[in-house]
Amino acid sequence: MQMVTPLNLNDDFSRRVVAPATDAAWAPSPQPGVARRMLDRVGGEVARATSVVRYAPNSHFERHFHGGGEEILVLEGVFSDESGDYPAGTYLRNPPGSAHAPFSREGCVLLVKLWQFAPGDTETVRIDTRAEPWRAGLVPGLAVMPLHEFDGVSTALVRWAPQTRFNTHAHPGGEEILVLEGLFQDEAGDYPAGTWLRSPRWSRHTPFTGAQGALIYVKVGHLGAEFLTP
């Protein structure tokens, strides 16, 4: 029996959300061998959604179109489609109207965001973050790798050296973080690898790291932005 997808999950974008990896609940997708850890969702099977998606070895998804675009960060393993193989660390953007038939020979884990493209954002993006240069951040100990920017929405990887502290700051357009490595911290708590955070517009915090340092995926400016809708 096919599991019914919840219509709404963390759909109040005015509230802060913290989803530790230890609380992860995996739900089967319509395709055997593909499971999802849903983070936020507005809609049914076609939805504005943020999920961590897990492909079992030798699993696949049927060829499908992305009416609202798809953003992917490969977290583990190798993700593939008819255009190529994308190992862990690959960042992809498949614009609205694109189509593919994805699969994984060895299995993989992905961060996937659907229906979060602004009108006019039609660029296809393929970045191997293992080979891209890092830029110096705004404070010592921070390094930044920009991944995408369009219409006030910015996406990047940020590497925090151990014992790094950033200034107290606000996020006019909100902020979303997935902790990829280490331990990310702020005055509200500690966030180990696998933790997903979403902070609303105009939220403020003072982030820092301890002895471990951290690597995080960060998106800012997208809460309240105009996106295509299902």
Task: Fill in the DSSP letter of residue 4.
Answer: P
Q: Which residues pair with 113 in a beta bridge?
A: 50, 71
Tokens of 80: 């593939």
- 119 and 40 both lie in a single domain: yes
- 170 and 190 both lie in a single domain: yes
Cα–Cα nearest to 158, from 201, 72, 220: 220
- 149 and 118 both lie in a single domain: no
Tokens of 72: 């992917």
Distance CA 21, CA 18 (A): 10
- 75 and 168 both lie in a single domain: no
- 144 and 170 both lie in a single domain: yes
**Which of 112, 128, 144 is where one domain is finished?**
128
Task: State pLDDT tens for residues 178-217.
Answer: 999 999 999 999 999 999 999 999 999 999 999 999 999 9
Give the domain extent around 41: 8-15+24-128
* Residue 185 CB neighbours (<10 A): 21
Distance CA 203, CA 220 (A): 11
Task: Fill in the DSSP letter of residue 165.
Answer: B
* Prediction pTM value: 0.95
- The CATH number of whichever domain residue 65 belongs to comes to 2.60.120.10
Task: State pLDDT tens for residues 50-100.
Answer: 999 999 999 999 999 999 999 999 999 999 999 999 999 999 999 999 999
